[in-house]
């Protein structure tokens, strides 16, 4: 189980901090604290490293006082993510100086991006492990604990095929699992560092992905969240054309899963065939995360997005018409170099017209090594932040109206757990709410358990969240005590 902190509002990827609580102890007394930062793709890497350490007899603990060493899996996507990563590194190094930790090992995207510069900045770091060297984590830990310091940085080139994500020690809620279907990215958006950090797009073969999904289902996962840097591109590198629709057909047949959620789709490869597959699926949710970034054609060209506003609007229309009850999430950017007042107003108008159920906004961050960092026409940070606030205010009206429209309706809710300190009260999510990103439903009921899907009558909306009462599917006035829905 993980305790999840709150990120800066509107950031994407979500800047989450996970400090993992104790797992069943091994026979060894070698213990470590895992701090996993960044997006779900990074979380999968953390789980894989934890699985490798478990095989070598290391025990993950949640109490910092019990840890022999700390493993920090960092994010380096944008400035806010780097700042958070630096802050955690400094916190762990301070614990080392005080004698509370024997060692600090830093892995992940910031490690991959900054490499030896990270050791120059923080010479007390014991090991730096790159993204593609995650399989070497146990060797790196052993080297530190045995006092061998001949190699303090471990980096490997991107493999021709993605690393297998089997044997993970999952640190999410037991009923939620992330399935990474590809690594890297072939897009060249002007503002993005992901291709530099994680290399070219590389899909896992369909049969490998399906095997991972079945293993997760056997491990108790009820909600499977499908992720990649560009999910809709899946399979193009392996099969010559996108194959997400074919993959979803296989995943939809996986027994034990209840919900399959799609994140991080790029507009280009969302085909009519994919839309039809989602619409007809039993388990694939009518929820799509489709980051769009902007609505101005000139800015979209400067961003190298390869899509126009008109094409985007046609796609959104096809999605709304083709998938009943669709919930759309998008992410937008303010302050991209050259953004004018008029272009921002165009973006604001776009948001008000399209009425996305879920939306996040982040302020442009000039990332070293990207074309956007060298572009003329920098927008003052205070202007970019003010534009973000205006967008979020407009979206708040839309989101609150959407929630008010849910009152009086019945919605299936996946129970995440009890509300601490309150009897007969539970936290859950509808299909409209991705874990750790979107809103929540506060459910009154009895005997509910995490991972259970219950029909809930929505009785009130409070801002972004909903309040409901668990009902029997047979009798509207009774609380629901049934088995986990399949």
Residues 377 and 419 in one domain: no
CA 24, CA 3: separation in Å to the nearest integer? Answer: 17
Backbone angles phi, psi at 183, to 5 degrees: -125, 155
8 A C-beta contact, residue 251 and residue 213: yes
Residues 144 and 267 in one domain: no
Task: Kindly state whether residue 484 falls inside one of the protein's structural domains.
Answer: no
Q: Please identify, among 377, 399, 421, the residue that sits at the C-terminal boundary of a domain.
A: 399
Task: Kindly state whether residue 119 falls inside one of the protein's structural domains.
Answer: yes
Identify the bridge partners of residue 20 per DSSP, sorted by sequence position. 2
Q: Which CATH number is 342's domain given?
A: 3.80.30.20
CA 336, CA 378: separation in Å to the nearest integer? Answer: 7
SS (H, E, C) 183-206: ECCCCCCCCCCHHHHHCCCEECCH
The structural domain count of the chain equals 3
**pLDDT per residue rounded down to tens, the chain (486 residues):** 232 333 222 222 333 344 443 334 434 459 999 999 999 999 999 999 999 999 999 999 987 788 999 999 999 888 889 999 999 999 999 999 999 999 999 999 999 998 888 999 999 999 999 999 999 999 999 999 888 777 888 899 888 888 889 899 999 999 999 999 999 999 999 999 999 899 999 999 999 999 999 999 999 999 999 999 999 999 999 999 999 999 999 999 999 999 999 999 999 899 999 999 999 999 999 999 999 999 999 999 999 999 999 999 999 999 999 999 999 999 999 999 999 999 999 999 999 999 999 999 999 999 999 999 999 999 999 999 999 999 999 999 999 999 999 999 999 999 999 999 999 999 999 999 999 999 999 999 999 999 999 999 999 999 999 999 998 765 433 333 233 232
Provide the phi-psi class of 264: left if phi over 0, else alpha when psi is between -120 and 50, else beta: left
Q: Which CATH number is 139's domain given?
A: 3.40.50.12160
8 A C-beta contact, residue 426 and residue 419: yes
Q: Please identify, among 352, 377, 399, the residue that sits at the C-terminal boundary of a domain.
A: 399
Task: Kindly state whether residue 307 falls inside one of the protein's structural domains.
Answer: yes
Residues 339 and 448 in one domain: no
Residues 378 and 235 in one domain: yes
Residues 393 and 439 in one domain: no
- Which pLDDT score is estimated for 26? 38
Residues 332 and 449 in one domain: no
Task: Kindly state whether residue 108 falls inside one of the protein's structural domains.
Answer: yes
Q: Which CATH number is 440's domain given?
A: 2.40.50.140
CA 251, CA 181: separation in Å to the nearest integer? Answer: 12
Residues 431 and 460 in one domain: yes
- Which pLDDT score is estimated for 161? 87
Residues 202 and 148 in one domain: no
pTM (2 decimals)?
A: 0.90
CA 46, CA 482: separation in Å to the nearest integer? Answer: 35
Task: Kindly state whether residue 478 falls inside one of the protein's structural domains.
Answer: no
Residues 278 and 130 in one domain: no
Identify the bridge partners of residue 18 per DSSP, sorted by sequence position. 4, 36
The domain in which residue 81 lies consists of: 2-154
Backbone angles phi, psi at 256, to 5 degrees: 100, -35
Task: Kindly state whether residue 480 falls inside one of the protein's structural domains.
Answer: no
- Which pLDDT score is estimated for 473? 61
Task: Kindly state whether residue 246 falls inside one of the protein's structural domains.
Answer: yes
Q: If residue 465 lies in a helix (H) or strand (E), which one and from where to where?
A: strand 465-470
* 3-class secondary structure, 363: strand
8 A C-beta contact, residue 413 and residue 454: yes
Residues 225 and 311 in one domain: yes
Residues 274 and 215 in one domain: yes
Residues 389 and 421 in one domain: no
Task: Kindly state whether residue 300 falls inside one of the protein's structural domains.
Answer: yes
């Amino acid at each position: 189980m993980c305790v999840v902190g709150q990120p800066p509002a509107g950031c994407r990827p979500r800047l989450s901090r996970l400090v993992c609580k104790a797992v069943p102890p091994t026979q060894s007394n070698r213990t470590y604290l895992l701090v996993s930062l960044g997006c779900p793709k990074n979380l999968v890497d953390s789980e894989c490293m934890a699985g490798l350490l478990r095989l070598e007899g290391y025990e993950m603990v949640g109490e910092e006082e019990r840890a022999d060493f700390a493993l920090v899996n960092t994010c380096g996507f944008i400035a806010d993510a780097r700042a958070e990563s630096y802050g955690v590194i400094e916190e762990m190094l301070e614990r080392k100086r005080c004698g509370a930790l024997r060692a600090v090992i830093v892995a992940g995207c910031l490690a991959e991006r900054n490499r030896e510069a990270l050791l120059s900045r923080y010479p007390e770091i014991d090991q730096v492990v790159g993204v593609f060297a995650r399989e070497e984590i146990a060797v790196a830990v052993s080297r530190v604990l045995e006092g061998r310091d001949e190699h303090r940085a471990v980096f490997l080139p991107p493999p021709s095929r993605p690393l297998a994500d089997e044997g993970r020690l999952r640190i999410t809620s037991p009923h939620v699992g992330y399935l990474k279907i590809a690594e890297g990215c072939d897009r060249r958006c002007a503002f993005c560092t992901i291709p530099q950090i994680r290399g070219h797009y590389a899909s896992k073969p369909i049969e490998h992905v399906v095997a991972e999904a079945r293993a997760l289902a056997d491990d108790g996962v009820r909600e499977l969240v499908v992720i990649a840097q560009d999910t809709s591109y899946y399979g193009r590198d392996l099969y010559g054309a996108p194959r997400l629709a074919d993959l979803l057909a296989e995943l939809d047949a996986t027994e034990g899963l209840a919900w399959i959620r799609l994140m991080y789709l790029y507009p280009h490869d969302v085909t009519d065939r994919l839309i039809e597959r989602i619409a007809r699926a039993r388990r694939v949710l009518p929820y799509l995360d489709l980051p769009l970034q902007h609505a101005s054609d000139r800015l979209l060209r400067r961003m190298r997005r390869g899509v126009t506003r008109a094409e985007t609007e046609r796609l959104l229309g096809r999605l709304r018409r083709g998938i009943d009850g669709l919930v759309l999430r998008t992410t937008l950017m303010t302050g991209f170099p050259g953004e004018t007042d008029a272009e921002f107003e165009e973006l604001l108008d776009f948001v008000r017209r399209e009425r996305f159920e879920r939306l996040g906004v982040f302020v442009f961050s000039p990332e070293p090594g990207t074309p956007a960092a060298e572009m003329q026409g920098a927008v003052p940070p205070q202007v970019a932040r003010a534009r973000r606030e205006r967008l979020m205010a407009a979206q708040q009206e839309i989101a609150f109206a959407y929630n008010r429209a849910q009152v009086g309706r019945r919605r299936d809710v996946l129970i995440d757990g009890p509300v601490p300190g309150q009897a007969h009260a539970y936290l859950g999510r509808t299909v409209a709410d991705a874990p750790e990103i979107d809103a929540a439903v506060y459910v009154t009921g009895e005997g509910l358990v995490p991972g259970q899907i219950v029909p809930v009558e929505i009785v009130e909306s409070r801002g972004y969240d909903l309040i409901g009462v668990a009902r029997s599917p047979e009798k509207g006035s009774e609380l629901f005590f049934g088995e986990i829905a399949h």
